Amino acid sequence: MPRYAIYFVPAAKTEFFRFGSAVLGYDCYTGRRTDRTPILNADPELWDRLTVEPRPYGFHATLKAPFHLSASCTESHLVSALHSFAGLGHAVPALVPAVRMLSGFAAIVPATASPAIDELAGKCATIFDAFRAPMSAQERARRVASGLNQSQIANLDRWGYPYLFTDFRFHMTLTSRVETECRDDVLATLQRALGRACKDCALAIERISLMRQNDETSPFRVIEQATLRPAR
């Protein structure tokens, strides 16, 4: 059974998407590997190891975490809901991206807090939950064993994902967990690469993407996008 997710994915032709997909070594629009050398100018084998976990998800920010479809729903229902949601007016003004370490992995985050992004993520997490099949006992046990607090467990049981609302932080993952002694070097490499590739450009959250993973060994790919209307 496939899994679906609602992500923010930058437009395919933007410098920002080319940067992120090159770092990960995977383009979630085409489903193909990418050449990271022009972006990082670094050891490709090292960066293959550093990005092995986030690579199959593509360069994205999670708005509704991966889920199996409820038996009463179809992919076409989900596509229709994506466009209906986008028409309600949730576009987020441009933000300044920054590379930071979060719990040991590198990610792009807003340089300053953005309540509008938090609101968008909260609405995606709750509204699209109507399409989610119940979580399996095995998945719940795996999640809980990762060390969740009570708030996160409550989110997991209600919404199928622990990091929502006050536990949410908008981020676009660039690496797996990095060993402590390597973190400063990895962070500096990514900060320099982002500055060269994107020239301090702002990032607008102007679209949402429907992603599909055909089976547990396949990467996620963009199957539909919808443009967010500006907030009224």
Model pLDDT, residue 94: 85
Model pLDDT, residue 83: 97
Model pLDDT, residue 145: 95
In the numeric block, which tokens belong to residue 42? 């670094």
Model pLDDT, residue 232: 65
The structural domains of the chain, ordered by start, are 3-227 (3.90.1140.10)
Model pLDDT, residue 40: 85
Model pLDDT, residue 67: 97
Model pLDDT, residue 73: 96
Model pLDDT, residue 215: 95
Q: What percent of the chain has pLDDT over 70?
A: 99
Low-confidence stretches of the chain (pLDDT beneath 50): none
Model pLDDT, residue 58: 98
Q: Which tens digit of pLDDT belongs to each residue from 33-56?
A: 998 888 887 788 899 999 999 999
Model pLDDT, residue 51: 96
Give pairs for 108-114: CB < 8 Å, separation 24+: 108/20, 108/171, 108/172, 108/174, 108/194, 109/169, 109/170, 109/171, 109/172, 110/170, 114/170
**Separation of alpha carbons 95 and 93, rounded Å:** 6
pTM as predicted: 0.94
Model pLDDT, residue 139: 94
Cβ proximity of 172 and 54 under 8 Å: no
